[in-house]
Structure formats: structure tokens, C-alpha cells
């Protein structure tokens, strides 16, 4: 009887402690909800997802969502102009004299010597193109193997590579606005065609994924304002079958999809063209208010822009737009300004200079990483890992 009484007494104490803990947790959540409702009444534009983040933090025992573990570092010389890229899970680091591949643990796989004072990296499928912006050198790799290199006759404005390995080079040329060369490095005579452009500046060119069409991203500055002109032609045809003018904007960011549809964006305009080059939807903002645009698996566009509400208050809002019809599926606000936006699958990465924040497509915050040095670039390796370039090193971060 005495033993039984002690066991029952212990059970009563255990239940009492659990009840107290549950009461405290419910009290804190209730206070948090009350605070959120009060703040919402003071500011009608307050994003309800801020409350979700508070509850997420409470559920984690007050530890918040800060990422401190699972970070690997690749050291580099911060005095060099260094750029990063990703190709099929490999990390690519490029500086003036070399390009190096690493695996996701930060282990070096291969280094190749190059010459590029201001290197740029372009990737598509299994191909990686490294080129010297404002210089003349280009290097093409298939996986880790260098398959082609070229010294151009003119200084490079921009370059790109397609999924089939076609290389496009936009160059300066006397007497014209630009010269565009298209190469097929698999041929004994790689130069396929050359276009000289007299009427517009060219800021980009690419062979579309089908391999049958050439896309020129042009800027028409002949009028009062600069207009974007998106030109499409069949390979080896000089006359375009589509030349789309979008007034009062420049569209330097372009995503090409497997069906040859296009997502193009600038600091005030985001536009989607289907495979027939019809404009499906177009979003306009105030000049300079689009901070970043990316795509998710060819299904969604992710747009981060500074927006003002009817009450006049402004904040950065991330909107998820379905590509095929322009329908908005979700939106959420984020703190601070955005310097870089990256998307992989259902994960969004945003950096503001001092920190990198990660969200899913529904706006739930997955984690925040604050390195010891300023962030200069951010790329998602996949939905679970991010590549953060800082002034002190390249950090490989596991997202919670």
C-alpha cells in the first residue's frame, strides 16, 4: 500500500508539472497572438507570416531559426575578383588565373589555369562557360573536362552557353552597336554564324534549348527612353520571326525554359513569353523597385519587389507567380533590402548583405544565416544547401 501510494503521488506530481508547463506555453502563445493582433490593428499592412515566425521560434524552445551548425568553408583570396557558380551539384569558384571545382563538402575536385581579369560563369546542363568580361578569352567545359577555348577578335560584352553546348559571344565592334558570334565547339570549324547589329545595343544572346532559335536581348535607345527589344530568329536566318518591344525598360535577367519560353526581368518589369513568343503576362513596378527575380523548376516566377500599400507604407514583398497563366499563388513580406535572390525547388534564398534568409514557397521561414563577414553572393545548391560568398570565404550552409 505504501509503495502504491508513492507511485500515485509521483504520478500526481508529474501531471502537475506538465500542466504548469502547458499553461505557461499557452499563456505565451496567447500573449504573442494578442500582440500580433494589436500590431495588426496599428498597421493593417502587417504580414501575418510574422506571427508564424514568432510561433516557430517559440516551438523551437526560443532558439529561433539561426543556422550555426553544418557550415563548411572554402577559403579564397579576397583581394582577387572571385565569382561562383553551380553545375550539377558541383561548386565552381573562378578567379583571374584559375577555375576550381569543389564537391558539396568543400573538397577540391579539379583546378584549371585560365586568363580572365573579370571572369563570368555561365552554366547550362553539363556545360560550364568561363569568359573574360571586357576581355577576349573564353573557355568551355563539359563536366570537369575542358573541351574548347577561344580568343575573340573583339572585347566581350556578354557570353552564354546552351544545354547543347552552343556558345554565344556578344562583342564590341567598330561601326556597329554589337557583333554576335555563335559557336558549336563540337565542329572542326566551330563558328556557325555571325550577326552585326547596327540599330540597337545588344546586352545578351543565347541559343534556345531546342537548338533551333537564336535569341537577342537588345536595347533600343533611339527614342526619348530606352526600350527593351526581345528578338527571336531561326538559326541561320537573318530576319527575325518575332521582335517584341517593351517600352521604358531594360531586361537584363533572362531565364530560358525547355519549351523555348522566356522569363525576362528588369528593375521595373517582369514579363513571360510562351514558346510561340506571345506575352502571357507582364507585371509593372515603379522604376528600381524590383530587387530580384528567379524561377522555380519551370513552374513559378519568384519576384521580390518594394511595394507601397494604399496607406502609403512600403515593404519588400515576395510574390510567387505561376508561369503558365500569371496567377499569384502566395506572397509574403521580408525585412530589409534584398541584394540577391536564389531559388531551388521549393526553397527561396534571400541575402541582404549581412544575413541570408531561407523560406519555402509558402513564405514559412526555414532559417537564417549570419556569417562573420558581409555577403556578396548567394546561390542555392539545392533545396537543402546554400552557397554563400562572403568577403572572408565561401560558406556551404545546411538549411534547416
What are residue 357's DSSP bridge partners? 350, 368
Rounded Cα gap, residues 322 and 345, in angstroms: 14
For 220-248, what is each residue's pLDDT tens digit? 999 888 999 999 999 999 899 999 999 99
Q: Where are the beta strands (DSSP E) in 56-107?
A: 71-74, 83-87, 90-94, 98-102
Rounded Cα gap, residues 215 and 273, in angstroms: 12
Which 3-state string (H, E, C) describes 69-82?
CCEEEECCCCCCCC
The reported pTM is 0.84
Stretches in the chain below the pLDDT threshold 70: 1-64
pLDDT value at residue 49: 42
pLDDT value at residue 68: 86
pLDDT value at residue 21: 53
pLDDT value at residue 22: 53
Cα dihedral 318, 274, 262, 142 in deg (nearest 10): 120
> Class of the 69-74+291-400 domain?
mainly beta
Of 144, 112, 147, 119, which is closest to residue 134 (Cα–Cα)? 119
Strands 314-322 and 347-351: unpaired
pLDDT value at residue 310: 74
Say if CB 159 and CB 132 are below 8 A apart.
no
Domain boundaries, the chain: 2-59, 69-74+291-400
Phi, psi of 36 (to 5 degrees): -65, -40
pLDDT value at residue 31: 54
pLDDT value at residue 221: 94
Cell, residue 61 = 524552445
pLDDT value at residue 6: 37
Helix, strand, or coil (residue 21):
helix
Amino acid at each position: 500500500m505504501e509503495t502504491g501510494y508513492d507511485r500515485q503521488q509521483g504520478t500526481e506530481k508529474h501531471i502537475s508539472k506538465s500542466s504548469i508547463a502547458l499553461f505557461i506555453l499557452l499563456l505565451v502563445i496567447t500573449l504573442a497572438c494578442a500582440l500580433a493582433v494589436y500590431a495588426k490593428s496599428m498597421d493593417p499592412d502587417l504580414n501575418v507570416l510574422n506571427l508564424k515566425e514568432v510561433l516557430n521560434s517559440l516551438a523551437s524552445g526560443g532558439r529561433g531559426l539561426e543556422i550555426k551548425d553544418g557550415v563548411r568553408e572554402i577559403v579564397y583570396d579576397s583581394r582577387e575578383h572571385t565569382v561562383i557558380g553551380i553545375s550539377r551539384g558541383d561548386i565552381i569558384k573562378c578567379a583571374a588565373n584559375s577555375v576550381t571545382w569543389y564537391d558539396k563538402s568543400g573538397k577540391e575536385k579539379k583546378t584549371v589555369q585560365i586568363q580572365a581579369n573579370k571572369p563570368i560563369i555561365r552554366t547550362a546542363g553539363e556545360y560550364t562557360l568561363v569568359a573574360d568580361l571586357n576581355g577576349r578569352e573564353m573557355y568551355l567545359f563539359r563536366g570537369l573536362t575542358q573541351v574548347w577555348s577561344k580568343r575573340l577578335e573583339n572585347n566581350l560584352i556578354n557570353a552564354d552557353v546552351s544545354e547543347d553546348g552552343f556558345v554565344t559571344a556578344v562583342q564590341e565592334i567598330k561601326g556597329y552597336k554589337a557583333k554576335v558570334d555563335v559557336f558549336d565547339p563540337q565542329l572542326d570549324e566551330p563558328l556557325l554564324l555571325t550577326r552585326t547589329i547596327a540599330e540597337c545595343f545588344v546586352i545578351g544572346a543565347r541559343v534556345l534549348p531546342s537548338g533551333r532559335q537564336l535569341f537577342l536581348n537588345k536595347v533600343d535607345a533611339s527614342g526619348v527612353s530606352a526600350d527593351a527589344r526581345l528578338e527571336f530568329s531561326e538559326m541561320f536566318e537573318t530576319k527575325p520571326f518575332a521582335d517584341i518591344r517593351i517600352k521604358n525598360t531594360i531586361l537584363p535577367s533572362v531565364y530560358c525554359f525547355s519549351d523555348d519560353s522566356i522569363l525576362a526581368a528588369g528593375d521595373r518589369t517582369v514579363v513571360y513569353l510562351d514558346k510561340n513568343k506571345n506575352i502571357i503576362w507582364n507585371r509593372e513596378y515603379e522604376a528600381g523597385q524590383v530587387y530580384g527575380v528567379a524561377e522555380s523548376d519551370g513552374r513559378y516566377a519568384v519576384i521580390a519587389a518594394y511595394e507601397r500599400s494604399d496607406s502609403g507604407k512600403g515593404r519588400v514583398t515576395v510574390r510567387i507567380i505561376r508561369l503558365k497563366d500569371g496567377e499569384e499563388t502566395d506572397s509574403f513580406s521580408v525585412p530589409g533590402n534584398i541584394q540577391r535572390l536564389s531559388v531551388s525547388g521549393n526553397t527561396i534564398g534571400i541575402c541582404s548583405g549581412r544575413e541570408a534568409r531561407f523560406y519555402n514557397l509558402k513564405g514559412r521561414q526555414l532559417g537564417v544565416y549570419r556569417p562573420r563577414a558581409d555577403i556578396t553572393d548567394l546561390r542555392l545548391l539545392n533545396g537543402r544547401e546554400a552557397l554563400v560568398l562572403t568577403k572572408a570565404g565561401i560558406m556551404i550552409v545546411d538549411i534547416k
